[in-house]
Structures are given as C-alpha cells and as structure tokens.
C-alpha cells in the first residue's frame, strides 16, 4: 500500500475531503480529521532506541475510543501499531508497506465513521 492508495480509499467514503495537516496529507469528514500521514519526529525515532521500527509512509487513523484502539492493536497485523506519543489518544498507526488493502480499508472506514453523520453512514451502507 502507498499514500496514493490511502487517498483513493479515503476519498471514496461519503463526504470525505482531502487536505493538509501540518504539511502532510490528511482526510476529514464534516470538518474533522479521521486519517493523516504521520511522519516520525526526531523524538519518535529517538524513543525507538536504535531498535528496528515500522518504516514510512505511516498513516494515523482515528478510533472510536481507547477500548477500540486496544482491540484493533490486539487483532490486527503487525502493520498496525502505536507509539508513546499516541498513549491515551484514540488513534492507531499503520505502516503502509505491511498493510493489506482489505485491512487498510476496514481501518479507514472505522476512522471515518467516528465523525460521519447519520446520512453519510446510511450512504456508505447503501453502497
């Protein structure tokens, strides 16, 4: 998977819009971001302490809450992970090189549904 494929998936969701967040690609619905490109900061890389870490590009995706985040981390592939910076924040990170299209689609839909309206959810269900 790559960022072009993420963008195509995200734009296919009802009401989704593409834009930028802190100079990186981001996707929102109803003015609220549900997924965004998440490059590592220098502090992130330092926290890995020289250990191998998931390679970029990385996409962050909103979850419905911390319980859903933990469930997703437990049940998904190793491409889905988190970092210290995201502790206590309802979002997961996805290493695109390790994610399959079906897995990425499901994660994006879940993130989008957090901010989608009832009409947008109904339009998605009708597809």
Phi and psi dihedrals of 43, rounded to 5? Answer: -65, -40
* H-only helix segments in the chain: 3-11, 42-47, 66-75, 101-115, 118-126
pLDDT tens digits for range 56-93:
999 999 999 999 999 999 987 889 999 999 999 999 99
Which tens digits make up the pLDDT trace of 30-57?
Answer: 999 999 999 998 999 999 998 888 889 9
Residues 6+ apart with CB under 8 A from 106: none
CATH of domain 3-126: 3.90.1150.30
Task: Give the model confidence (pLDDT) of 21-31 as tens digits.
Answer: 888 999 999 99
Q: What is the 3-state secondary structure (H, E, C) of 33-64?
A: EEEEECCCCHHHHHHCCCCCCCCCCEEEEECC
């Amino acid at each position: 998977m790559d960022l072009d494929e993420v963008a195509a998936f995200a734009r296919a969701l009802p009401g989704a819009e593409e834009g930028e967040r802190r100079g990186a690609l981001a996707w929102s619905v109803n003015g609220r971001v549900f997924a965004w490109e998440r490059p590592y900061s220098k502090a992130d890389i330092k926290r890995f302490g020289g250990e191998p870490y998931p390679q970029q590009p990385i996409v962050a995706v909103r979850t419905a809450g911390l319980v859903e985040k933990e469930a997703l981390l437990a049940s998904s592939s190793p491409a889905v992970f988190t970092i210290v910076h995201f502790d206590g924040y309802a979002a997961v990170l996805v290493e695109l090189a390790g994610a399959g299209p079906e897995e990425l689609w499901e994660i994006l839909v879940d993130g989008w549904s957090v901010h989608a309206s009832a009409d947008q959810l109904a339009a998605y269900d009708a597809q």
